[in-house]
Chains A and B, each alone.
Chain A
Amino acid sequence: MADEILERNDGAEGLILVGIQRRGVQIAARIAQLIKDRDGATVPLGALDITLYRDDLQTVGPRPVVGRTDLPGDLEGKRVVIVDDVLFTGRTIRAALDELADFGRPARVGLAVLIDRGGRELPIQPDVVGKHVEVPLGGRVDVFISELDGRDEVVLNVMERT
């Protein structure tokens, strides 16, 4: 994924990796480390919490916990790559695009996800994908990251609800 991000963005110059809270943040940090190992370049990292931009706040019941949004400086003219663990309906990415727009006008915004599970409800597609898996609507994909969960693992649960 790191190689593909560099390839698509003509190197690390002007690149910013923005992870979506939570887990996207850690995946973005790992990609930045890989880029550093291969290229020697330090890519600035940001974190985006999209809770306040969700389109379903009126219906989700207990309010979700709000996490930190922290972007490295001005986005004007930069190439931003949004990083998340699982791409499903695309609604999180819609919210992330709205939030990014409130911080400035990047030259270009890309999307890199570890898992694309299909099931889009919006016209949003990733540029870089770790792995495609088709998971039916009732199933779920859980990504575990050692920084948060003590292990690196992806669990596919195809038939959660019967």
Chain B
Amino acid sequence: MTPTASSVLGKDLLGLEHLSAEQINVILDTAGPLKEISERAIKKVPTLRGATVVNLFFEASTRTRISFEFAEKRLSADTVNVASSGSSISKGETLVDTARNLEAMRIDMVVIRHHASGAAKFLAERIESNVINAGDGTHEHPTQGLLDLLTLRDKLGDLRGKRICICGDVLHSRVARSNIWGLTKLGAEVAVCGPRSLLPNAIGEMGVQVFDRIEQAIEWADALNVLRLQLERMQAGYIPSLREYNRVFGVTSERLDRAPRDILILHPGPMNRGVEIDSDVADGPHSVILDQVTNGVAVRMAVLYLLAGNKPTLATAARGDA
């Protein structure tokens, strides 16, 4: 008999916080074989033929939106992209009205990116379609977390006991949050490193170590996940200057040369070369940044495959009617 993916995901993927290690591993184990599809001459399988997926992006995104779109198309789904500018959203329509209108046109799945934390959950409780969170405010970005986990697992093997340090603006980063949840569930040791002004006050409660110096992080870690420093943070007074940030927290090849072991460098993109990461590191032998991008398509294909057709439970359907 055909083996089944023992624990299904349910209707939606909203974050990694509420997934079990087993559910995360099912997604990663499914993504592995799906990578091969993107290497074929005909990069397409008929799995989601007839399903309609709407990519609802209320925030600018290139990489994530294109990655989702490739994933959907390689599974033969029909896709529609809705951006906030140039749509009725800019005319003041609410999120729920937009989604209900889309559902009236008989869609099956919604991929949503929104500037408000919790937007994906809010939507998921109110519509029948499967909802995938593509980043909500400073809350979570689960598919980015999953692709980071897949990249680390491919390179390091079993993540139990492996040491991963997340560097930079953890405070505003949904990528950091999804990473911390996912990594700790899979048994990795997690640390963060950055200026205290960009670390959450209660970071210790998430079960992570804190390094104040990037040199300590490099000495300790098997891999660094270097976050993008959003330039508007400087204007808001979180850091004195970009140059100073680079001097104190920048990942440079001089600093990596002193690492006691082979260290992997991840970055969710888009990079600020010369700020949080130097060019020779980004393009150097430690970098797995482009593997992350490749894995992103496979992970999103896995999530689409595992969620497609899953119906809401009675409880969530009832909440939607309220």
Interface residues of A (CB under 8 A from B): 49, 51-53, 57-58, 60-70, 98-99, 102-104
Contact = CB atoms under 8 A, between A and B. Distances in A.
Interface string B207-223: 00000000000000000
B33 A63 contact: no
Interface in B130-188: none
Contact of A52 (B5, B6, B41, B46): B46
B5 A102 contact: no
Interface of B, secondary structure class, is loop
Contacts, number: 60
The 5 lowest CB-CB distance pairs between A and B, nearest first, are A52-B45, A62-B4, A52-B47, A102-B42, A64-B2
A102 B44 contact: yes
A65 B29 contact: yes
A63 B306 contact: yes
Contacts of A67: 33
Interface string B18-50: 000000000001101110110011101111000
B118 interface: no
A68 B2 contact: no
B33 A66 contact: yes
B8 interface: yes
Contacts of B3: 64-65
Interface residues of B, number: 26
B83 to A, nearest CB: 30
B4 A64 contact: yes
Nearest to A68: B33
Contacts of B302: 66
B36 A57 contact: no
B2 A69 contact: no
A68 B36 contact: yes
Contact of A63 (B8, B36, B44): B8
Contacts of B58: none
B245 interface: no
